[in-house]
Structure formats: structure tokens, C-alpha cells
Amino acid sequence: MVDPNEGTILEFIRATDINGTKCAKLVEEDVGGEIEYWQNAVICCVLRANSPYEVIDGFVRRIWIGSAIDKVLLIKKGLYLVRFLDKEDAVRVAQKGVYHFDQKPFIVKAWTPEMEINVDSITSLPIWIRLPELDIKYWGMQSLSKLGSVIGIPLKTDRYTKDKSMLKYARLLVEMPLEGHFPDYIDFANERNVIIRQKIVYKWRPIKCTHCKMFGHTHEECKKKSNQRKEWRAISQDKMDIQQQPDNGEPEAMDGFQLVTKSQHSTRIATQMRTLAPTIETLMISTNTKFLITFIYGRNHEEQRGPLWEDIQNLSHSLEDPWSILGDFNVVLHQGDRIGGVEVIDGETRDFAECTQQCNLQEFQYEGAFFTWTNKTVWSKIDRAFHNDL
């Protein structure tokens, strides 16, 4: 007898002789139950990256927090299977197709019985495209299918294109080769055999570095091009006090402020150190607007960061000017700010959260990667930029 908690009871089923070879013969009834079970699943991978299971598990549960995830499974190196309790959730997350993890494309495709489960099998992905200013007479489903077929396999339109309720552009979801050509326009012959050039706008297109052959960055941004190490070095006070005359004859310093930008095509900014170190008083010369910037580098241990929160609150209550505070706080603010490693608990974030509330600090909106630090095992958001309400 087999303990039900340890496994499932199997039975002997005689093999079949096919062309003189003894083999097992599977029929549709044998696989039907498994197909039904896995139809709620999606295949995921981070292109050209191999992140630990714990990190990917935390990542998908955060980005799909509103969905009922049954399980996250590691299939093989770099490839994961996520099963949802509800098939609608699986369809919804697969329709987006591309997410981003640590500035790398995170590819999601719906599982199908015909799919070979390996990273190399992901050679195409669904990408939303826009056809701006497309004449309304070409918005028929047959016409849009033909236009989309020029660059890939058209899958569907969005609701607004279907209902013809927003005519600024037609929007199609097209399955396109991952390493294929992504043209900026297509040509088509209309009903009068006149050739028309139609612009294409991609929501996202896979960028591949020509140097390291990895996705997610260009050749110019590649970190593997050079092994040069860069570091910050302190500048002596003597060097900071030097006043030079720029080419246009304007002073480099004025009323205690040191000019730090001189471009005629950008906002001119001057700074000076305040006694409330490390706070810099900043002057935008074009508008004569002053504001303060404080730079933070938090200690590594919780007990060492206590004075930091007190200093920030004391500084905040003493200011009457617009103020920005930014840097590496060395601690997360919310539970979703770390994946991998030790789970975030309320006690870890409490002091930081209370400090931002006491000072009425609001976080700047930003673009780019969510996590700001990683050792390739743990990803966390410990760098932040806030401003007060003045």
C-alpha cells in the first residue's frame, strides 16, 4: 500500500507492440485531465538571466497580487511555470506578454499542449502595436488582419478598436519573432491599388545588445564592454571654493552660491552648503527659486539608524523652504520592496514609515527599474527620493 501523503498508486498496463517495438501507447483520455489542469498556467522566463527561484516567486506574486496564484514552479534553469486557480487570470496576464524584471524583459506566454517547455522554444512573443491615423475605412477586421500579417501573426484588437470608439489609432496584438525585424512602417495596396505607407508604434520591442547578445539594453549601455571601475572621491574644500570666470564673463559664484551648471540650453543651478549638513541650498537662476536637498546614506544595522530618523524629523520641522531628501536609506519602506532572502516584517519598516509620515514626505514619481539594489539573490528597493509639501 502507498501512503496517500507520499504519492499515488499506479497500476500495470501492458505495453503495445508498434512496428516490432515495445512501447507505451497513450490516448486522448490519458492526457485530457492533465491538459485541463494546466490550461490555467503560463510559462515565464527572464531573457538571458538566471534568477533564483525565491526571487521569481516573490516577483510574480507581487506583480499579480490581485490574481489567485496556485503555484510557482521551476521547470529548468531560467524557466518557470505559474498556475492560477482561475483561467481568466492566466489569460489576462498572458495577454500583456512582456513585463520587466531588473530592467530585463520578463516574457509570459500561455501554456498550450503543443508547446515545448524550454527557454529556446520562446522564439516569439505577443506585442501590442498602434497604427496611428489609419483611415477609418481600413478598420475592418479583414483589413486589420492583413495589415498585422505583414509583420507577424495578428491575434486580436483591443476593445476600443473593435468598437471603433477611439479613432486616433488602431491597436493590434501581434505575435512577432523575438529576434526578428521590427519595422517602423509597413506598405499596403488599398482598394484602388494605391500604395500607402502606414506608421507603426510599438508598446515595447526587444532591444538586444550587439556586444554581449543579451536583451534589455543597447550596445552603448552594456556593462560588459569595459571593466573600468568608477568610484566617488571627496573634493577638498579648497577646490570647492575656487571661483572661475566662465567664457561669457558671468561669475561662477554669487551670494555664496557655487554655479554647477552653465549650459545655455538647460536650467542654470547654483548651490551652497547649509549648516544643516548634509543639506545643500539650491538656486534655480532662471526663476530665482530656492530649494533644499539633503542626501542620505543609512547605516546597515537597524539600531544604528535610530539617530537618522530623529535627525530627519528635526531637520524637517526646522525648514520653511521646499525640500527634497534622497539617497540610500539601507532599509525598505513597504513589504513588497524586497524579494528573495528574509521576508519583510512590519517591525522592519515601522521607523522609516513613521518618519515619512511625521515629516509629511511624499515620494517622487519615477520611471525605470523598481528595485535599486541586488546581489543577484536578493532584490530590494532601498534608494528613494522624497519631497515635502512646500
Q: CATH code at 114?
A: 3.30.70.330
350 versus 382: the higher-pLDDT residue is 382
pLDDT digits (tens, 9 = 90+) for 139-156: 999 999 999 999 999 988
Residue tagged 508498434 (cell numbers): 18
Q: Residue 38: what pLDDT?
A: 94
Q: Residue 290: what pLDDT?
A: 76
- Tell me if 11 is assigned to some domain: no
- Tell me if 360 is assigned to some domain: yes
Residues 194 and 303 in one domain: no
Coil, strand or helix at 294: strand
Residues 115 and 129 in one domain: no
Contact 85, 37 (CB under 8 A): no
Residues 380 and 267 in one domain: yes
pTM above 0.95, yes or no: no
C-alpha cell read off for 379 = 532584490
Determine how many CB atoms are found less than 10 A away from the CB of residue 129.
23
Instruction: List phi, psi (to 5°) of 288.
Output: 55, 40
Q: Residue 263: what pLDDT?
A: 47
Residues 149 and 188 in one domain: yes
Residues 306 and 382 in one domain: yes
Residues 131 and 67 in one domain: no
- At 217, the pLDDT band (50, 70, 90 cuts) reads low
Residues 186 and 303 in one domain: no
Residues 260 and 358 in one domain: yes
Domains identified in the chain, total number: 3
Among 53-67, 248-262, 302-316, name the one with the lowest average pLDDT. Answer: 248-262
Pick from 234, 253, 233, 235: which is nearest to 243 by CA? 253
Residues 90 and 186 in one domain: no
pLDDT digits (tens, 9 = 90+) for 162-206: 999 888 899 998 888 877 788 999 999 999 999 999 999 987 777
Residues 162 and 98 in one domain: no
Between CA 70 and CA 39 the distance in angstroms is 13
- At 244, the pLDDT band (50, 70, 90 cuts) reads very low
- At 291, the pLDDT band (50, 70, 90 cuts) reads confident
Q: Residue 166: what pLDDT?
A: 85
Residue 174 parent element (H or E): strand 169-177
> Given 121, 141, 158, which residue is the final one in a domain?
121
Residues 300 and 193 in one domain: no
Would you state the torsion angle of the CA atoms of residues 352, 354, 355, 360, taken in this order, to the nearest 10 degrees? Answer: 130
Residues 69 and 87 in one domain: yes
27 versus 272: the higher-pLDDT residue is 27
Contacts 24+ apart (CB under 8 A), 206-212: 206/47, 206/105, 206/125, 206/178, 206/179, 208/179
> Given 121, 139, 173, which residue is the final one in a domain?
121
**Which of the given ranges, 114-118, 219-223, 386-390, has the highest pLDDT on average?**
386-390
Among 1-15, 170-184, 219-233, name the one with the lowest average pLDDT. Answer: 219-233
Between CA 353 and CA 348 the distance in angstroms is 10
Mean pLDDT of 82-104: 84
Q: What is the mean pLDDT of the chain?
A: 80
- Tell me if 10 is assigned to some domain: no
Q: Residue 369: what pLDDT?
A: 80
Q: Please check the confidence at residue 103 and state whether its pLDDT lies above 90.
A: no
> Given 121, 148, 165, which residue is the final one in a domain?
121
Mean pLDDT of 117-122: 62
Its domain, for residue 46, covers 32-121
Q: Please check the confidence at residue 375 and state whether its pLDDT lies above 80.
A: yes
Q: Residue 190: what pLDDT?
A: 94
- Tell me if 157 is assigned to some domain: yes
Between CA 276 and CA 320 the distance in angstroms is 13
- Tell me if 322 is assigned to some domain: yes
CATH number, position 362? 3.60.10.10
- Tell me if 208 is assigned to some domain: no
- Tell me if 6 is assigned to some domain: no
Residue tagged 548634509 (cell numbers): 278
Q: Residue 45: what pLDDT?
A: 83
Between CA 293 and CA 271 the distance in angstroms is 10
- Tell me if 5 is assigned to some domain: no
